[in-house]
Structure 1
Amino acid sequence: MASIYKRGTTYTVNVSVVKNGKRVRKTKSGFKTKRDANYWANDIENRKNNDELSAVFAPDITVPEYFGKWLETYKGNIKSSSMTVYLATLHTIERSDILSTTKAFKLTRARAQQYLNEFGSTHIRSTTAKRKTQLKSAYQDAVLDGFIKVNPFERTIVTGSDPKDNDLKFLETDDYLLLINETKLVPTINNDIILIGALTGARIGEILALTTDDIKDGIIDVNKTEQSATRTIDTTKTKSSVRLIDVPVWLTDRLNSSYQGRMFNISQGAVNKAFKKLQTKLEFKNIVSFHGLRHTHASYLLSKDVSIDYVSQRLGHANTAITMKVYAHLLSSKRLQEIDKTISLFDKGLQ
């Protein structure tokens, strides 16, 4: 920080700078106005910041080197789960024929687009979009820091394949109800985890973080999550993810009588493996991931005319707009049914 003070009829400025590895004070006097003194101080501060940044972001570093340094500098305090996603991007660009050896501050928009095309050729569009968002953010800081004038990822196009049909992410109603009855019948750790997922729509990390203190009469209190990579307990995905979920009392009675303290000492990968094995054993047509069970839970409730407001709260969505976006195809189908019912009412009334 610069200090400005008046000496006689003029102003003097002191600024702390680093020279030859040592911090020294740079002083300049004789400014007629405080405004002039501020201009000079700001100029010195900007030069100092640029010098410090240049020491971190050398002008000849490659794109992966810049992205890694950017993570260290600007993303040091993010959650480990978020950092895992950023590190996946870093790993990807380190292996990219297009970006691995490209100088970070020489990257053109055309070359950035070539990379997105390359990545999109083997990934779905939403995954490519996430990569672009992260790289664009990194390069936006390069613009703000004065290393480049234009963000090379600005106005680039996201490419990639379409995701699997939404129907493949849901269990059929008969399969869903069979799954609940099967896991209810035989109490095991895997069955209990799957049963909680089926009856709550909770995320797998939220379930694995549960303790018996979170299990009350007919209510499961979701207030934390387990990070997949480290298996450590962390805050929930969003503030709205903290919620109370109503469940049958027999479920909470069963859990309280079977566990004490933290309930499940098992990895998310092991749960997913067991869940898919059970679906295969039950001869389900569509094999879904554990997250697909969350979609199945919500879809089942919406198909039974449960309020979208309540389903949204149950899932821990921030608002119903998110729920409507995720389940747009299902809600559209329901809307067509409502149209048919409405037209039918008027047709009968006019006969």
Structure 2
Amino acid sequence: MAKKKGILFCDYYDEWIEVYKVGAIAKITLDKYYNVAKQLREICPKLFISDFDRREYQRIINEYAKTHEKQTTTDFHHHVKACIKDLFHDGLVDKDPTYRVVIKGSEPKRTKKRKFLQKEELAKLLQSLDTSKVGFDWFVMLIAKTGMRYAEALAVTPNDFDWVNQTITINKTWDYKGNTGFSKTKTTSSVRTIKIDWQIVGQFKPLIKDFADEEPIFVNKLEDGTYQRQFNSTINNFLVAKCKAVGITEISLHALRHTHASVLLAEGVSIHTISARLGHADVSVTQETYAHILDELQKKDDQKMLSVLMQIA
């Protein structure tokens, strides 16, 4: 154990990626881990595991935050924390160095649009969709109702649906950048089976009854056996046009995933249930991503609590 503590954290992080991430996650996500490893080499090249504590970790975050926006710094923190969590559980550090870390970073240079729709706006969007045939409208509908990622939704096949138990299993993605077909999920925790509502069962099931069981529903197969190349900008432009048409906030497809989680949170669904539904690696990721909504809900809970206590007196 002491021997392990005597190695550089950068070396350990590189080894950790090879052991735990290579072959287990999608290439696009793996590249993010490699980029983080490169950043660590620049920020803390001589930091030994034996010297790793909360102060050292805060210094790493502070240094990274000097040249990055706060949200980017948060993403960097998540990628490093995943490794440190294993360090802690393996007994290589006595205490969690990431505990109560302060995420810094510059504010966005441009004011960003709200990243999700309100419940009423979502209802308007869904009511405007043409669900009579399989196409972009149903693609948007499924993401709005399940919170799937873009690449996950592209990879959905008829066999992924369990119509009797009202579920869909998400266990793969579609490599839309390399156009090489099915690929691994973002992380192992992204593999999940989630509930779907009766609208999907009643309306979508008959539309795909003649589709090939193992073929992607939303990716066209060409005559030569290859698949038509997919661009997320195409579906994003479609979604923006739909939003404009019904007079609601213009959002991206990824923001529709945020909308799904935000609406469920606001309606009282537990953070743990939503985290599992989204396929997050850890509930803390969900908590940090939707901190603004959780703060609002806590204020409402405070009012409820005070009201209950007043009734007891």
- TM-score by shorter chain over 0.5: yes
| 1:195 and 2:141 matched | yes
8 Å CA contact retained: 1:128, 1:160 = no
Residue in 1 that maps onto 2:256 = 293
RMSD: 5.3
Residue in 2 that maps onto 1:316 = 277
Note the alpha carbon deviations across 1:81-139, whole angstroms, 9 max, x for none.
Answer: 46444223113235x3x44xx34549976776544212123132532432442564687
Shift, 1:222, TM fit: 1.8
Note the alpha carbon deviations across 1:249-297, whole angstroms, 9 max, x for none.
Answer: 1122223356653223389x95642343124323266443434323323
| 1:328 and 2:294 matched | yes
Q: Give the alignment's TM-score, normalised by structure 2.
A: 0.60
SS of the aligned residue for 2:130 comes to helix
Instruction: Map 1:172-251; keep pairs closer than 5 Å.
Output: 172-184=118-130, 187=133, 189-215=135-161, 217=163, 219-226=166-173, 231-234=182-185, 237-238=188-189, 241-248=192-199, 249-251=202-204
Q: Give the alignment's TM-score, normalised by structure 1.
A: 0.55
Residue from 238, 245, 255 that aligns with 1:278: 238
Describe the shift of the 1:254–1:161 C-alpha distance in structure 2 as closer, same or farther (beyond 3 A): farther
Q: Structure 2 CA distance, aligned partners of 1:336 and 1:203?
A: 34
Note the alpha carbon deviations across 1:14-63, whole angstroms, 9 max, x for none.
Answer: xxxxxxxxxxxxxxxxxxxxxxxxxxxxxxxx9xx96xx8xxx9x8xx86
Q: Structure 2 CA distance, aligned partners of 1:150 and 1:337?
A: 40
Describe the shift of the 1:339–1:234 C-alpha distance in structure 2 as closer, same or farther (beyond 3 A): closer
Shift, 1:79, TM fit: 1.6
Greater share of strand? 1
Describe the shift of the 1:168–1:337 C-alpha distance in structure 2 as closer, same or farther (beyond 3 A): farther
Shift, 1:181, TM fit: 3.2
SS of the aligned residue for 1:243 comes to strand
Residue in 1 that maps onto 2:36 = 89
Residue in 2 that maps onto 1:127 = 75
Deviates more, 1:191-200 or 1:164-173: 164-173
8 Å CA contact retained: 1:243, 1:313 = no
Shift, 1:242, TM fit: 1.7
Residue from 118, 127, 145 that aligns with 2:63: 118
Residue from 103, 106, 124 that aligns with 1:159: 103
8 Å CA contact retained: 1:245, 1:314 = no
8 Å CA contact retained: 1:197, 1:293 = yes
Larger radius of gyration: 1
Q: Structure 1 CA distance, aligned partners of 2:113 and 2:237?
A: 20
Residue in 1 that maps onto 2:207 = 254
The number of equivalent residue pairs is: 274
Residue in 1 that maps onto 2:218 = 264
Counterpart amino acid of 2:124? L
8 Å CA contact retained: 2:240, 2:250 = yes
Shift, 1:199, TM fit: 2.5
Q: Structure 1 CA distance, aligned partners of 2:98 and 2:124?
A: 49
Instruction: Map 1:6-155; keep pairs closer than 5 Å.
Output: 64=10, 67-72=13-18, 74-75=19-20, 79-81=24-26, 83-94=30-41, 96=42, 98-99=43-44, 102-103=45-46, 105=48, 113-121=58-66, 122-124=68-70, 125-134=73-82, 136=84, 144=92
Shift, 1:176, TM fit: 1.8
